[in-house]
Amino acid sequence: MTQFTDPKTLNNADIESGAIFAPKFDANGLVAVVTQEASSGDVLMVAHMNADAIAETLRSGYATYWSRSRAKLWKKGESSGELQEVVEIRADCDQDALLLIVNQTGHGAACHTGRKSCFYRKVETVDGQTVLADSGSERLFDPADVYGR
């Protein structure tokens, strides 16, 4: 596994203002990642990375995440062609979350449902019930054609 500086070896000033990249991984060795489209500023998805996923992303220039459901590295778009070319990686103030700013390739869909963003539904209250309502985000590809499901 790739090693980064252990944040426990740094003081708060180094973590919050210094130049040392020391991601604070959780108990499962993961850090949350928000992915944003460079051209529009739209939030595309939220995923997780472990040290190897960060290292591969830095090496290749394409977003690679840790798939918790499959328990393996996952190069975004590997099977769909919807690759994410990394423009910039940012760490939040205490380095326990990352922001990937990407150029979304392919049809422009980051979501496995074929939509641009995974955030295609909004939470609403209708007649006292909390429901999810479609925001009107169209499908850019048919998942059945791409994934065979």
Annotated binding site for Mg(2+): 92, 94, 96
**Backbone torsions φ then ψ of 2, nearest 5 degrees:** -65, 145
Which residue ranges make up the annotated binding site for Zn(2+)? Answer: 93, 111, 118
Element (H, E) at 38: none
What value, to the nearest 5°, has the Cα angle with vertex 67 and ends 8 and 106? 120
Q: How many degrees, rounded to 5, is the angle at CA 121 between CA 119 and CA 124? A: 130
SS3 at position 130 = strand
Known binding residues: 92-94, 96, 111, 118
